[in-house]
Structure 1
Amino acid sequence: MKVFVTGAGGRTGKLVLERLRDQPGIEVKGLVRRQEQQQELGESAVVGDVLEPAGWEGELAGSDALVILTSAVTKMRPTANPDDPPEWYFEPGQMPEQVDWEGQRTQIDLAKKHGVKQVVLISSMGTTKPAHPLNRIGGGNILFWKNMAAEYLVNSGVAYTIIHPGGLIDQPGGRRQLLVGKRDSFMDVPGGPRTVPRADVAEAVVQALLLPDALNKSFDLVSRPEGEGEPTRDFAALFDQTTAGL
């Protein structure tokens, strides 16, 4: 299996690339934005911009699967008064409408063009909540555009798996019970689980590529606190708990 991973230079993207490299029978390439990220990840990484596919489309061609981990990222601008909250902004050309909508739409179109058999899209929990605070950060309306891309993928005709993780935490994977839901159902439960380790999201991506139970599924992914419940090992059973469509 040949897998192409975009957003491979991010914290979750690096974990996905590492896990895929460990899988026998999988050949993986990752798209990163900066030269130093390529140097860190080695020969399996290529430099490019999702908004300018001419430089990397050839790397995608011939792939069996595409994993989309690209996302607009906010920057912090300190205020003149240290007592004031910091200002958050997106760099020019890197607004959510451009990265999470136009960029992801371009990737989906290229996947269809080149006969990619499955697209795994990492979105975010909260996309059904227009008033979510993330939509106000930097004026980017990021969850709205992520939802637009997810809908576009579902209607593209390409087999898909869409994962909406909760808040990403930098904790070891494989130690927690994972839970799946639909359309932000966990957010409607007071005190319910809202976070998931990046490493567990990476493992879910790998398993979604290996198990047919994940095909044409879209689901939220969170975890119980470590030590609460049995760590998830059977991903086929986990994927069977959710349904097709957004």
Structure 2
Amino acid sequence: MKKVLVTGATGGTGSLVMKKLLQQQNEFEAFGFARNEAKVIELFGSTEKFFLGDIKDQSVLEQAMVGINALVILTSAIPIMKTPPTKEGERPVFEYAPGGTPEEVDYQGQKNQIDAAVKAGVEQIVLVGSGGGTDENHYLNTIGNGNILIWKRKAEQYLIDSGIDYTIVHAGGLLNETGGLRELLVGKDDTLINHPPNDIRPSIPREDVAEVVVQALREANARNKSFDIISKPEDDPSGVVTKDFAALFAQTTPGL
């Protein structure tokens, strides 16, 4: 029985990972970590199996890590719209809430989690990040002047340097669509995301990302690997639904 802690467990992808793990109680004992008690109850019915706290609080993280075999990091800073667009073609203006900037959440908050995991003797960390991190001028970095991809990459390098077995997943655009119906494609250094085959949209259903996370907790081929991942369209005639995750992870490589 592998004990797994999922942080960001009430988020769009984190909640899917948590639910998948809870459905496989013969293999995993899942625990969640979240800030919002009301949201935990809304999504899961109760706070059983949940730690409530802030990833900026090292002591709470250390308590949550006790006895944990694997950590799944799905925390991320969330921008808030400050000014909506006033004319066609104009982009809205975003900001981050005080204490919720990418530096504080995506770097320091993830660093805190990694440090707590090291102290607790956690054996494996699966971290879900974002595609686009090779481009410092990426649009996502301009949102709220937060440089979110830059801070995410710093945290990912910190994880690699920590000595814990890692799997880093750089997901393409996230879709709220049914998973398990597409062929998944892996790549490196944003090549797949910037230049997808046949000009397909470089995206992937959240459910498929959640499944990749769960499979990474199982498969030795996923350990000490970092990769980008997207999916072929569901109706792509050349697509073969991905079921062999050991083979998928075998295509991936270490390091950012």
In the superposition, the TM-score normalised over structure 1's length comes to: 0.96
Within 5 Å, give how 1:212-227 maps onto structure 2.
212-227=220-235
Offset, 1:127: 0.5
Offset, 1:57: 2.3
Aligned partner of 1:2: which letter? K
Aligned partner of 1:90: which letter? Y
Q: C-alpha distance in 2, partners of 1:188/1:230?
A: 22
Q: C-alpha distance in 1, partners of 2:106/2:254?
A: 22
Partner of 1:132: 138
Choose which of 72, 82, 97 in structure 2 pairs with 1:77. 82
Q: Deviations over 1:158-188 (max 9, x none)?
A: 0000000001110000000000001101134
Q: Match of 1:161, SS?
A: strand
Offset, 1:47: 1.4
Within 5 Å, give how 1:55-74 maps onto structure 2.
55-74=60-79
Offset, 1:76: 0.9
Whether the aligned pair in 1 keeps the contact of 2:4 and 2:69 (CA below 8 Å) is yes
Whether the aligned pair in 2 keeps the contact of 1:186 and 1:193 (CA below 8 Å) is no
Partner of 2:39: 37
Say whether residues 1:47 and 2:52 are aligned partners: yes
Partner of 1:241: 251
Superposed CA RMSD: 1.4
Q: Which deviates more from structure 2 when the two are superposed, residues 18-27 or residues 40-49?
A: 40-49
Offset, 1:133: 0.3
In the superposition, the TM-score normalised over structure 2's length comes to: 0.92
Within 5 Å, give how 1:163-174 maps onto structure 2.
163-174=169-180
Partner of 1:6: 7
Q: C-alpha distance in 1, partners of 2:76/2:151?
A: 10
Say whether residues 1:158 and 2:164 are aligned partners: yes
Offset, 1:53: 2.8
Q: C-alpha distance in 1, partners of 2:247/2:132?
A: 24
Identity %: 49
Q: Match of 1:179, SS?
A: strand
Whether the aligned pair in 2 keeps the contact of 1:195 and 1:223 (CA below 8 Å) is yes
Q: Which deviates more from structure 2 when the two are superposed, residues 85-94 or residues 5-14?
A: 85-94
Offset, 1:77: 2.1
Within 5 Å, give how 1:70-109 maps onto structure 2.
70-79=75-84, 82-83=86-87, 85-109=91-115
Q: C-alpha distance in 2, partners of 1:182/1:123?
A: 13
Q: C-alpha distance in 2, partners of 1:221/1:135?
A: 20
Offset, 1:192: 4.4
Whether the aligned pair in 2 keeps the contact of 1:17 and 1:30 (CA below 8 Å) is yes
Q: C-alpha distance in 1, partners of 2:53/2:121?
A: 21
Gaps of 5+ in 2: none
Aligned residues: 245
Q: Which deviates more from structure 2 when the two are superposed, residues 82-91 or residues 236-245?
A: 82-91
Q: Deviations over 1:69-111 (max 9, x none)?
A: 00000111245x8436432110000000000000001111111
